[in-house]
Amino acid sequence: MTRLQPLKEFPLEPQHNPPPPGARSARPPLRLGILLSGRGSNFLAIAKNIRSGALPNAEIAIVLSNIADAPGILAAQQLNLPTKIHVSKGRPRADHDRDMLATLREHKVDYVILAGYMRLLSPEFIHAFPNRILNIHPSLLPAFPGLDAQTQAFEYGVKVAGCTVHFVDEHLDHGVIILQRVIPVLETDDAHSLALRILAEEHQAYSEAIGRVASGQYEIQGRRYVRTS
Ligand code: GAR
């Protein structure tokens, strides 16, 4: 199993003041509900991009975790973002997801962003946000769904790897693909170095995908995500 160390490249200061009204665009910002279970580097990349303006027209409404001491939730607390923990261990999925849904609704979330949320969602949850739940997966789907995708890909001997941002449906790592990023597998790679290079792509890809969705300029045609401008 590939073990990744916490990353230190997102030195965000806590935000005390919202951006001035003039800085906002005419469309109300998309309210994101971030769900995470672990390190939270994808969440931090999204937060950084929102803060810098690289991801406009979006704001983080709530950061939710199913793990009480997930480093990502601690990072969100340090950034003064709204956070909530609903511990999932030992609870039926449907009950836990009902609590998660209630919190997302309470915070008027438009889109749910799975950022290393390592728990399957119940059908009730998925149907509550049809085509409004995004996930990032560290492989070029449909190859290597499930856990430890980077190690699966490395051990399979692929020559290119990457990440996928997709809408979430009832099946694991399966919904409509919004975008993918591809990198070569180097002769010098091991599973760990490959995972780190994929992660660097993830940090860009997720914000890009959220930006595309926030623009509203897309259609879903069958399994195809199609940009309309
Ligand atoms: C990321 O690599 C993400 O793609 C993966 O978990 C990691 C979370 O890292 N997600 C999955 O494998 C989902 N199937 P992070 O907590 O540092 O964002």
pLDDT digits (tens, 9 = 90+) for 102-145: 999 999 999 999 999 999 999 999 999 999 999 999 999 999 99
- The whole-number pLDDT of residue 17 equals 39
Residue 137 is among the residues annotated as catalytic for this protein: yes
Instruction: Give the whole-angstrom CA distance, residue 168 versus residue 135.
Output: 6
Instruction: Give the whole-angstrom CA distance, residue 57 versus residue 28.
Output: 7
- The whole-number pLDDT of residue 27 equals 77
**CATH number, span 27-129:** 3.40.50.170
Residues in the chain, pLDDT under 50: 1-3, 6, 15-24
| Domain spanning 135-229: CATH 3.40.50.170 | yes
Check 137, 166, 192, 203 and give the catalytic one. 137
Can you give the residue ranges of every domain in the chain?
27-129, 135-229
Identical fold, 27-129 and 135-229:
yes
Residue located nearest, by CA, to atom 11 of ligand 1: 137
Which atom of ligand 1 is nearest the CA belonging to 44? 18
- The whole-number pLDDT of residue 24 equals 45
Are β-strands 111-114 and 30-36 bridged in parallel, bridged antiparallel, or unpaired? parallel
> Which residues does a 6 A CB cutoff place in the pocket of ligand 1?
36, 38-42, 72, 115-116, 136-138, 149, 173, 199, 202
pTM of the entire structure?
Answer: 0.90
